[in-house]
Amino acid sequence: MKLQKILNHLQKLHPKEIDLSLHRIKDLCEKLGNPQDKIKAISVVGTNGKQSTINAIFSILKEAKISCNVYTSPHIQKINERFIFNNQKLNDGELIDLFEEVEKINDKNPLTFFEALSACYFYKAAKYPNNINLIEAGLFHRFDATNILKKNLASVVCSISKDHLDWLPTDQQTIEKIIFEKTSSLLNSNIIVSKQNSRDTTDCIKKTISKNSSNKLFFNEDFSFSKRENGFFYYEDKYGGLKLPLPNILGQFQLENISSAIATIRLLDIDIKNENIKKGITKIDNMARLQEIKSGKLKELVKDNTLLLDGSHNEDGSRVLNEYLKTLDCNKHVIVGMMANKDHKKYISYFKDISSLTTVDIPNQPNSISGKKLKEIFKDLSNVEYKESIEMAVKSIPLEKDDLLLITGSLYLAGEVLNLN
C-alpha cells in the first residue's frame, strides 16, 4: 500500500523513535509558513484521560454544529484516527497527499515520526482557521512536538501519574518531575485542571503553574459533579448547575473527564447551549476506553457474556479501571498483554477478586513483553495462564452465565483486538 510505504519512510527520517527537542519541528514549520500560529487550539496534557476528555469536548462541539480538527495519539486501528478535519477523518488518499506534500518541503531533513505527523497536522489545520483544534500532547509536553503554539484557547491538565519513566534519568523518575515536564510550559490563557489521583498531585501542579498568569480552574474548587440516582449526574460551576443524563461510556472516571470537558467549554466564549452538552455526552465515541464489544468474531466466542476492552496501561489507569470493576456483581475474567517498559507489578496489583488471569503476546509489537514473561512476573497470583494468541485466550476461558471478560493492558493490544474482532 502506498500509505504504508510513506509511513515507513517517515519512520526512517530519524534514528530515534523519540528525541525530545523542538528545533526540528520548528524548522520544518517555518518552511511550512508557521501553520501552528494560524489556528485556534485547546491543548490537552496529562497521563490519563486525555483522549476521553478530547472525545467529550468533540462530541459536545459537534452537537453545537461547531467544526473541529482533532489530533490525538497513538491510533488504535488506523493512523487516520489521528487526523480529523471538519469533524471527519482523512481518508487514505487525503493522508497520502498531505504526507507527500510535507515530506517534499522537509527535503529529507532529520525528523522523528511524531514530529512529522505533528507538522502534517498543523499544515492541514491552518487551512481551517475558524475551526477549533483539539490537540493531545504527546510525551511529557515540554519538549513535545505539539508544544510549539504561541497561543491557545485553553490548556486542560488531565490526571497526571507515573508513566514513561524510562525516558527520564533514574534520579528524576518522580511525580514532581513529570508534573514539571507536563505543566511548566503551559501557555498563558486558560488552564483547567482535572481531578487528580491525590491532593499532593494537585498541590504540586498548583505550585508549578503558580507564576503562569492564566485564568485557572481546579476540580472540586471551581467545578465539580455528583452522581445522583435515577440515571443522571449533577454538574456545577460558577455559571450554575446542570442536571445531566449519564453518558454513553462506562466508569466513574469518565464523569471526571466529562466534567473537565464541560468546564472547558463553558469557560470559553463560544455558543454552546445546555442542550448541546446534554446530548453531546450521550454520543461520545471512546474507542478502547471501557468499550463494550457488542458484535464481531470475538464477541461470538463469548456469546451472551459481556466483553469489555480497555487500553489502560499504567498504575493510575489500572486503579480507575478497577474502581469500576468493583461496582459489578459478577465473576470477572481478565486477559492482559503489555508493553515492556511498563510497571507490570503495580499495574496488576489493583486487580482484586478476579476469577482468572490470562497473559498474551501483543502481535506486531517488538517493544511488548512476551506473555510468557508476563505470566512469570504475575506468578504470585492464583489462576494465571498464558496463551500465545488473543483468540486462544478467549476460547480457553470457561465463561458461565453473567460472567464478564475484560481484555486490557495496552492500547496496542486493544488495536489488535479490534482488528481481530
Of 163-177, 219-233, 310-324, the one with minimum mean pLDDT is 163-177
**CA-based nearest residue to 56, from 300, 225, 298, 180:** 225
Q: Which region, left, alpha or beta, applies to residue 258 given φ > 0 means left and ψ of -120 to 50 means alpha?
A: alpha
| pTM listed for this prediction | 0.95
Mean pLDDT, range 44-60, rounded to an integer? 97
| Residue 165, pLDDT above cutoff 70 | no
Instruction: Give me the chain's average pLDDT, please.
Output: 94
CB 256 within 8 A of CB 194: yes
Q: Which domains can be identified in the chain, with CATH numbers? A: 2-280 (3.40.1190.10), 291-420 (3.90.190.20)
Cell of 192: 483547567
pLDDT tens track for 359-392: 999 998 999 999 999 999 999 888 899 999 999 9
| Residue 65, pLDDT above cutoff 80 | yes
* More confident call, 321 vs 163: 321
The 404-408 sheet, strands edge to edge: 291-292, 306-310, 404-408, 332-336, 356-360, 384-387
34 contacts: CB under 8 Å, gap ≥ 6: none
Of 8-17, 258-267, 404-413, the one with minimum mean pLDDT is 8-17
* H runs (alpha helix) in 230-325: 252-267, 274-280, 297-302, 315-325
pLDDT tens track for 126-151: 999 999 999 999 887 899 999 999 99
Cell of 409: 493492558
Q: Give strand pairing partners of 131.
A: none
- DSSP-derived letter for residue 82 is G
Gap between the Cα atoms of 251 and 320, Å rounded: 8
Gap between the Cα atoms of 119 and 107, Å rounded: 13
